[in-house]
Amino acid sequence: MAMYLSRLTVRLAGGNSHRRSFCFHPGSSYKAVVFDMYGVLIPPPMPAATEWEGRNGVPPGTIARAIRMGGEGGVWRRFMRGELGAEEFVETFSHECTAVDFSSFLQALTCGPFTRLHPVMEEAIQCIRAQGMKAALLTNNFLLPGGASFLPVNRSHFHVIVESCREGLCKPDPQIFRLCADRLGVAPHEAVFLDDLDVNIDAAVRLGMCGIKVGDPAVSVKKLEQILQFPLSVGETHSIRRNQQVETLTQYLRKAGHLSDTGLGLSSHGSLCVVTIFFIYYYLSLLGKPFIVEQLCEGRIFQDPFLPSVSQEEKTLMYRSILQTLSCIHQLEPNTIAFSDHAEDLMRSIQQYKASKTLAIPAMERLVEWLPLHLPKEHKTTVVHGDFRISNIVFDSTQPKVAAVLGWKQCILGDPFLDVASLCIEYYLSSNSHDLQIFDEHGRVLGLHAVPHWQFYMTLSCFRQAVSTLTGTHSFPVYTNSFSGY
């Protein structure tokens, strides 16, 4: 199952004085997080070395001493830099270190627990990417027989992967840190680096990076949360095993809670990215409030419509994907569900305003009179999302395309330019408007070339946002739970 992040609550962990961390910049300045592999994403190698020594009758600490005494020109460092292949390394290191065949130690470092990432670290990487930040892997690594490196990670989780055996450089050489930062497109002081060795942390900090010494992965992730100032976990969720049948779980919950089907009457459309809803429970008897069970969708959610952390090329592709998705929504055909139209939606907003106001606001009172008088009488009628904006869009984790659309609770039948206005209003209010270009392109996609009531739709969008603010139902910025998005 995939995952989307729609609830972001800052949780600060308590300090741990025995854990080293060196950070001199505010969290808002960071653009990337760089992870070591051994000792950070997967277990450290030295406990495995100690176990191997005991199992093979080798004096404790033999491997660690051989690595330290060899220095930069030693066999281990040459192996890490890719100067020695696996077979040559095993032969040479076995001769220098112990008479026991050392190939079994390399095998021990590439199986069992070393093939699985720490769950808290894997989830942290997903959360970092979902926030629009970059993630990198920077590791002292080695070549296996055949020339491949040992890399038990999902490469798509990282924007950049830097391996010592591929670059001819090893940590703590400053050049490998600069290389990683350059490939990420960030300055060293814009990156946080996690490693389990003091010597590597010190080298990164001297270059300007923020360093976190990793001991307990969970504690280190809490420290990273404090630095980045957003959570690195999604509470009360976990991945479903591939052999765990979702349909079986769904049927069980329906039976246990007497749950209804969704009742959503939109015909499917092959190009539309909608999060699957397994069921909706409207009553209070089960959990004390209505709830839904829906598919988790992995991806990124942005709060700033200008996407400042995204390159211009990727931004252009993302905007085009937004418009294509919106066009798909407007080509949906409703079937059995009863939609309200935008006239009913307007009157509902006016009633909400009147019910919530504690004193008259002249500008709002004028809009209450003006909007019904200027309601368009003729327009194209389609399914309208009703709250179409950047923060209700989940983008793919690695590609500049829409993965899912959230926030369907205001879905109605009406003029499709209601959604275009909803998308443009964030740019309009920011005093950096590109709305004309956006709705012109959207019109070309749909074949809608004239917008006679554009002023009405922009005004209505402003009015609806003001009403949401007055009634306390607004979600700007959107740090809501997933049910409130429907």
Residue with tokens 């070549």: 143
Tell me which of 453 and 284 has the higher pLDDT.
Answer: 453
Query: Pick from 69, 95, 90: which is nearest to 79 by CA?
Result: 90
Do residue 394 and residue 352 come from a single domain? yes
Do residue 408 and residue 326 come from a single domain? yes
Do residue 389 and residue 341 come from a single domain? yes
Do residue 210 and residue 255 come from a single domain? no
Q: What is the rounded CA–CA span in Å between residue 72 and residue 24?
A: 30
The CATH number of whichever domain residue 140 belongs to comes to: 3.40.50.1000
Instruction: Please give the torsion angle defined by the CA atoms of residues 172, 173, 175 and 176, in that order, rounded to the nearest 10 degrees.
Output: -50
This prediction has a pTM of 0.49
Query: Pick from 455, 118, 394: which is nearest to 272 by CA?
Result: 394
Position 92: which residue type?
Answer: T
Tell me which of 48 and 191 has the higher pLDDT.
Answer: 191
| Mean predicted confidence (pLDDT) in 285-305 | 75
| Residue 239 in domain | no
Instruction: Supply 291's token pair.
Output: 């709830």
| Residue 237 in domain | no
Write the DSSP string, 332-382: --B-SS---BHHHHHHHHHHHHHHH-SS--HHHHHHHHHHHHT--SS---E
Domain boundary among 78, 112, 146: 112
Query: Pick from 413, 420, 265: which is nearest to 345 by CA?
Result: 413
User: pLDDT band at residue 167, thresholds of 50, 70 and 90?
Assistant: very high
Domain boundary among 58, 91, 112: 112
pLDDT tens column, 248-289: 666 665 565 544 444 334 433 444 566 666 666 656 666 767
Instruction: Yes or no: say if 308 and 394 are a contact pair by the CB < 8 Å rule.
Output: no
Measured at the CA of 477, the angle between CA 219 and CA 417, to 5 degrees, comes to 140
Cβ-Cβ contacts under 8 Å for 145 (sequence gap 6 or more)? 85, 86, 87
Domain boundary among 228, 260, 283: 228
pLDDT at 268: 39
Residue with tokens 């984790």: 397
Work out the angle between the directed axes of helices 362-373 and 454-471 (0-180°, nearest 10): 140
pLDDT tens column, 340-395: 555 776 787 787 777 777 677 788 888 888 888 888 777 777 888 878 888 889 89
Query: Pick from 8, 43, 461: which is nearest to 228 by CA?
Result: 8
Cβ-Cβ contacts under 8 Å for 132 (sequence gap 6 or more)? 300, 302, 307, 309, 310
| Mean predicted confidence (pLDDT) in 289-302 | 77
Do residue 334 and residue 474 come from a single domain? yes
Do residue 59 and residue 172 come from a single domain? no
Considering its fold, how many domains does the chain have in total?
Answer: 4
Q: What is the rounded CA–CA span in Å between residue 468 and residue 475?
A: 8
Residue with tokens 């060196």: 22
Q: What is the rounded CA–CA span in Å between residue 485 and residue 323?
A: 20
Q: Which helix (H) or strand (E) element contains residue 124?
A: helix 119-130
User: pLDDT band at residue 14, thresholds of 50, 70 and 90?
Assistant: very low
Q: What is the rounded CA–CA span in Å between residue 118 and residue 140?
A: 18
Do residue 33 and residue 77 come from a single domain? no
Instruction: Please give the torsion angle defined by the CA atoms of residues 434, 440, 446 and 452, in that order, rounded to the nearest 10 degrees.
Output: 110
Do residue 132 and residue 253 come from a single domain? no
Residue with tokens 């200027």: 374
User: pLDDT band at residue 203, thresholds of 50, 70 and 90?
Assistant: very high
Write the DSSP string, 166-181: HHT--TT-HHHHHHHH
Instruction: Supply 94's token pair.
Output: 């076995």
Evaluate if residue 475 carries a pLDDT over 60.
no
Do residue 130 and residue 196 come from a single domain? yes
| Mean predicted confidence (pLDDT) in 82-88 | 87
Q: Give the residue numbers spanning the domain of 257.
A: 246-294
Residue with tokens 């003001």: 466
Strands 191-195 and 32-35: parallel
| Residue 5 in domain | no
Position 146: which residue type?
Answer: G
Q: What is the rounded CA–CA span in Å between residue 427 and residue 432?
A: 6
Helix (H, G, I), strand (E, B) or coil at 295: coil
Q: What is the rounded CA–CA span in Å between residue 143 and residue 78?
A: 11
Do residue 342 and residue 418 come from a single domain? yes
Tell me which of 25 and 57 has the higher pLDDT.
Answer: 57
The CATH number of whichever domain residue 329 belongs to comes to: 3.90.1200.10
User: If you average pLDDT over each of 205-214, 407-416, 428-437, which comes out highest?
Assistant: 205-214
| Residue 12 in domain | no
pLDDT at 136: 96
Helix (H, G, I), strand (E, B) or coil at 182: helix
CB atoms inside a 10 Å sphere around CB 321:
19
If DSSP states are collapsed to H, E and C, what string results for 430-465? CCCCCHHHHHHHHHHHHCCCCCCCHHHHHHHHHHHH
Do residue 378 and residue 472 come from a single domain? yes
| Mean predicted confidence (pLDDT) in 477-481 | 33
Evaluate if residue 112 carries a pLDDT over 60.
yes
User: pLDDT band at residue 465, thresholds of 50, 70 and 90?
Assistant: confident
Q: What is the rounded CA–CA span in Å between residue 16 and residue 14?
A: 7
State what percent of residues in the chain have pLDDT above 70. Answer: 69
Do residue 128 and residue 198 come from a single domain? yes
